[in-house]
Amino acid sequence: MKKNHQTLTLYLLLFLYLEIVCKILMYNQLIDYRLIFIILFIIPLSIVVNVLSKLFNSKINKVITIIIVILITAFYIFNYMYYSLFSVPFSISTLELASQAMDFVGIGVHLVVTKIVEFLILLIPFIIYIINVDKFDYEKIYLKKFSINICIAIIIYIMSILSLNLDKKDLYSAYNLYYNLDSATASFNTLGIFTTERLDIKRFIFGFEEVLINKKENELLNLEDKVSYNKIDIDFDKLINSSDGEVKNAFEYLKNKEVTNKNDYTGMYKGKNLIFILAEGFNEIAVDKDRTPTLYKMIHEGFDFKNYYSPVFLSTTGGEFQAMTSLIPSQEILGYWRRNNLYFPYSLGNSFKDYKSRSFHNWSYRYYGRDKTMPSLGFYNYKACENGLEKNISCKWLPSDVDLINASFDDYKSDSPFLTYYITVSGHAPYNFDGGNSIALKNQEVVNNLSYSDSVKAYLSTQMELEYAISDLISKLDDAGILDDTVIVLTGDHYPYTLTLDEINEISSYKKDEIVEVNHSNLIIWNNNNEHIEIDKVASQVDVLPTILNLFGIDYDSRLLIGKDIFSNNEGIARFSDRSWVSDQGTYFTSSGFVPKEENFMDNNYVDNVNEKIVNDFLISKIITANDLYKKIFEEG
């Protein structure tokens, strides 16, 4: 049999096919101008891989080629599956989550089943190659040809680097993504998966410093002197003069950052008890007037937040970090949080210093490193499975949220005032009735007659446990005579991301996209005496903490948080992991641009200004955690 197929062509086509297919699957985009950057980086990569697979005799080279093809295919499938699961690209920083890897095995298997068509599409080049494996030329490459190939690869690589200069104007241009910005999701779409992961490894090893875009935001607000603001006396000039590098730049930025105004809702709940619930997988699609009357009542009876989002940033831990610190998480930031005893002065537990604070979780107390992160949030009385709660509830997977409430209420009901933080788990994926989801099975009768797919019904079944738990909690508060003196805040950690978009849209009241609106959800801030007030302002998880601080009359400096009090005059913005965003003016998709809410909307640099703000929000969150900046501010400033 004549072996006339060149392995260089194999690698070129393999890389190109997998990059294009992943781009289409991840971003719903066909080929656009950014493909040229992906191709230019693929060519020298393919040449180098081809040379490395031809250093020995033909038999060995054949084995090496098969292994390389398997590894390349697995690399892209893994990246696609990871992105599908967490809505963020894989980063080497994620290796810090290895201790939780086994907890996602069931979810991973479920994902492969639900994405089987995409999985098979990504396997097509590999299958074709295996069928034709003996038709390729695996002959050894000698020094002269080796040298020529390497020289060609270097020349084309230089050309690919120079080509970046053709696209420098936009904030998320190929040039900025390669040299100046740390946005892996945008980079996936523009530079390709392989180049992005290569840059991630390089930056992890050698470091990478972004630069804040410094503007005097306070001047842009046009503030009036007679208005009170959430701002304290911080000697930023002293901090700036005693610092250098990114820390100095951060202090300069924070000094000029916009502040929020105090308002009619400031101190509305001062002195009341607070129960904060981070609800696993909770989303607006779970709420129904008849099926979940308690949740429905709490959402619509008091503050009714019409434009609230709970963006996915690497599963539950990302949602928790946003809600507890009002900073934006990344895989790197979450790693800093777990490794170091960071100081968060305005985290929920630390803000309520005069309260008796407790936290409860009905799964392992070490899950996501909470044995280390809870103290940094100000929760030193933290009880979960394996450190005390297992004496009162069954900690067999999946534990019950109802049991969580019943086992913990007596611990704090007599405290006055108290702060209680619950992290629920009953709403956890995978959502099925035949794969070991005990909560879905427990409440299956409630959803049996619904005309949805089994995955959707199983999800709704798990959320019934939350409904029952909250109903029991309200009854217990009422029986204890403290219902009127207690505020309940509830937000989901993320939308149920193991459901497909089609499954989510089965039950959604409107058609959602998979970047922004899939994250649209409900925020509950409820007291038994609340009047019904509709809030149209855009908000997200990072806004919950400053809103609570304002409602409870707790002094804080709004410049030090990313989120804004929802009741302030500041514009509402929800940020997503790929740096798309929603504001009160419209929606910006990183991959396709801005869609205004009003047809006659005039840009006037609005989109560019917000994009610069979003870049700063991500970066300042990183600088604050990487340098334990709050500690420096409150010890030295």
What's the average model confidence in pLDDT over 54-70?
97
Average pLDDT over residues 73-102: 78
At 404-423, the pLDDT tens digits run: 999 999 999 999 999 999 99
**Cα separation, 262 vs 21, whole angstroms:** 50
3-state SS string for 156-191: HHHHHHHHHHHCCCCCCCHHHHHHCCCCHHHHHHHH
Q: Which amino acid is at 349?
A: G
- Whether 98 has a pLDDT exceeding 60, the answer reads no
Residue 18, CB half-sphere, CA atoms under 13 Å: how many?
A: 28
Q: What is the rounded end-to-end Cα distance, in angstroms, of the chain? A: 77
- Euclidean distance between CA atoms 218 and 236, whole angstroms: 15
pLDDT in tens, 388-401: 999 999 999 999 99
Among 486, 491, 445, 485, smallest CA distance to 466 is for: 491
Mean pLDDT across the stretch 377-384? 97
Segment 37-43 shows an average pLDDT of 95
Report d(CA 302, CA 337) in Å as an integer: 34
CB 450 within 8 A of CB 474: no
Q: Residue 17 belongs to what H/E stretch?
A: helix 7-27
Q: Which pLDDT belongs to residue 102? A: 46
The domains of the chain, with CATH numbers, are 5-168 (no CATH), 273-556 (3.40.720.10)
Q: Could you tell me which residues are beta bridge partners of residue 421? A: 276, 359
Confidence class of residue 626 from pLDDT cuts 50, 70 and 90? very high
pTM over 0.85: yes
Q: In this structure, are residues 597 and 577 in contact, taking their beta carbons and an 8 Å threshold?
A: no
> What is the per-residue pLDDT across 202-246, written as a single tens digit (0 to 9) for each?
998 988 888 888 766 654 444 444 579 999 999 999 999 999 999
CA nearest to 524, candidates 279, 194, 244? 279
Mean pLDDT of 597-612: 88
